[in-house]
Amino acid sequence: MLSLVSKNKPAISASVLASARIIRLASTSATATTSATSPTSSSKPETSAVKRSGTGPMSFKTRKAIETEYNDKPTVVILGSGWGAISFLKHIDTKRYNVSIISPRNYFLFTPLLPSAPVGTVDEKSIIEPVVNFALKKKGNVTYYEATATSINTDRNTVTIDSLSNVASLNGSSKSSNIAALQQNDSAEVKYDYLITAVGAEPNTFGIPGVEKYGNFLKEIPHSLQIRKKFAANLDQANMLPPGDPERKRLLSIVVVGGGPTGVETAGELQDYVNEDLRKFLPSLADEVQIHLVEALPIVLNMFEKKLSSYAQTVLEKTSIKIHLKTAVSKVEANHLVAKTKNDDGTTTEETIPYGTLIWATGNKARPIVTDLFKKIPEQAKNTRALTINNYLQVIGTKNVFAIGDNAFIGLPPTAQVAHQQAEYLAKSFDKMSQLPQFHEKLANRKNKYDLLFEENKFKKFNYIHFGALAYLGSEKAIANITYGKRSLYTGGGLITFYIWRLSYLAMLLSARLRFKVITDWMKLAFFKRDFFKGL
């Protein structure tokens, strides 16, 4: 069952685990839990604690009347609050499992619209949804820890976490007087019966010097704010310099490295801002902004069929984005980068591209917690990219650890679509597991061939249905290849596809609140300029 094993802290019960937020969310009180039926039934409640951040209570536990008795339920710990984790939370039956989420980010981020955020086409707050909003919709209790998981300890079914908030104030209440609260940066271990790892991936620099120091990634909300701040500051500075000044030219140069969908969509959005907003009040500056898109391959958006990527390239070039193909960046300095272009005759040309703003979008790599797990599971030892999983999404070599999304590899691309479908599938599997008599015990007692138990019990294998791909190019044009599995339903590019793109993303948004906010932002664009504030 859920418990926190905190170094050098006295034991406290799980019932006082919740943060100050309990008071606001509680409808009844809940009790501590023990599990006799889970795969790791030896696990008992041990030391517990939660934390609050310095900026307000973030960790929480919801409480529902239905949840007064839940002693025999296995505990599922979910790592992450992204596509995989939140989609799983939405579908898992919390009457059958105690669910805990651990993530340093207390909100879900709708990544498909992240490229629209730096220039204010959509507001950052319009594409995030607090974890608590999903948790409150569940019938059972959900506990959230605002913490970073630093190690998965499969030998003792625990996850080591580093607290990002603290619960010092809980000590003041009479009920929780025995709490040795975790402070920010304290370390503790959380026990699980089942672990769902959905920590995603992190930006890959390929070890290229200078990228970490000078580049801006676009993977999280703070990245969006950093890009806007940098670009806005550069516009300010450039405006103070006379036309023709090389420094003005550099400041107005934006280099986007990586011609995958992140790089293309970001370049398109930046150019939209320049053409539609900046031009209205600083036309000469807008004319001088030059966006470069640098891609190592001979084509941008190589995951689309050739005619769509060629169309994309034409649209980008028409809007004056300069595309450098077969060009790989090898070094980044404070004000310029070095790139090598492969020529048709086999030779290589090296060029220096000055930049004011550098956006690095060359794909992702495994997070340290995942690479650390590779070393602990012999079957995963040769991996570098992600955890290999079987058809039931079990991490190969484990019985009670499952992986979904970008941190898992099953031969599918690292997309939200895949993460979402895996999460839905896994929640259904968990339903079935809880309905089959003695399934948890049988899995716990199994010594090898863990996947066979799923096969013997006729669990369906995960079957991915590809619904296609879409990408925004800027100037109200998008490309789309909409499919149902192998059947192609629509292939196109242009204005109509742009509206299909918008409708598809509205459908993908995980909550009514997000839909409302995004629609409002898009409507606002018809009447007002983008919110492009340096400090916000």
Ligand X SMILES: Cc1cc2nc3c(=O)[nH]c(=O)nc-3n(C[C@H](O)[C@H](O)[C@H](O)COP(=O)(O)OP(=O)(O)OC[C@H]3O[C@@H](n4cnc5c(N)ncnc54)[C@H](O)[C@@H]3O)c2cc1C
Ligand Y SMILES: NC(=O)c1ccc[n+]([C@@H]2O[C@H](COP(=O)([O-])OP(=O)(O)OC[C@H]3O[C@@H](n4cnc5c(N)ncnc54)[C@H](O)[C@@H]3O)[C@@H](O)[C@H]2O)c1
Q: Which residues bind ligand Y (CB under 6 A)?
A: 112, 206, 208, 257-263, 265, 294-297, 302-303, 328-329, 361-364, 413-415, 469-471
Output phi, psi for 347, to 5 deg: -80, 170
Residue 254: contacted member of ligand Y, ligand X, none (CB under 5 to 8 Å, by partner type): none
Sole binder of ligand X in the list 186, 193, 406, 521 (CB under 6 A)? 406
Closer CB to ligand X, 70 or 304, in the complex: 304
Closer CB to ligand Y, 370 or 471, in the complex: 471
Closer CB to ligand Y, 41 or 262, in the complex: 262
Residue 148: contacted member of ligand Y, ligand X, none (CB under 5 to 8 Å, by partner type): ligand X
Residue whose beta carbon is closest to ligand X: 82
The residues in 194-253 that bind ligand X, with binding defined as CB under 6 A, are 198-200, 218-219
Residues near 42 by beta carbon (within 8 Å), at least 6 away in sequence: none
Residues near 8 by beta carbon (within 8 Å), at least 6 away in sequence: none
Residue 149: contacted member of ligand X, ligand Y, none (CB under 5 to 8 Å, by partner type): ligand X
Helix (H/G/I), strand (E/B), else coil: 1: coil
CB of 367 to ligand Y, least distance (A): 15
Looking only at the bridges linking them, the beta strands covering 201-203 and 194-197 are unpaired
The torsion angle over the Cα atoms of residues 363, 368, 372 and 378, rounded to 10 degrees, is -10
Contact 193, 213 (CB under 8 A): no
CA distances from 207 to 168, 211, 263, 365 (A): 40, 8, 19, 11
Closer CB to ligand Y, 112 or 474, in the complex: 112
Distance separating alpha carbons of residues 432 and 92, to the nearest angstrom: 11
Residue 337: what residue type? L
Single out the residue of 208, 233, 196, 209 nearest to residue 91, CA to CA: 196
CB of 112 to ligand Y, least distance (A): 6
* CA 125 to the chain's CA centroid: 15
Sole binder of ligand X in the list 419, 433, 473, 480 (CB under 6 A)? 419
CB of 512 to ligand Y, least distance (A): 23
Closer CB to ligand X, 81 or 141, in the complex: 81
Single out the residue of 191, 165, 116, 202 nearest to residue 385, CA to CA: 202
CB of 146 to ligand X, least distance (A): 10
Residue 75: contacted member of ligand Y, ligand X, none (CB under 5 to 8 Å, by partner type): none
Closer CB to ligand Y, 164 or 361, in the complex: 361
Sole binder of ligand X in the list 33, 35, 62, 81 (CB under 6 A)? 81
Closer CB to ligand X, 24 or 375, in the complex: 375
Contact 467, 477 (CB under 8 A): no
Q: Quote the strand ranges of 50-97, DSSP E.
A: 60-61, 75-79
CB of 248 to ligand X, least distance (A): 30
Summarize as ranges the residues that interact with ligand X (CB under 6 A): 79-85, 102-105, 111-112, 114-115, 148-149, 198-200, 218-219, 262, 367, 369, 405-407, 414-417, 419
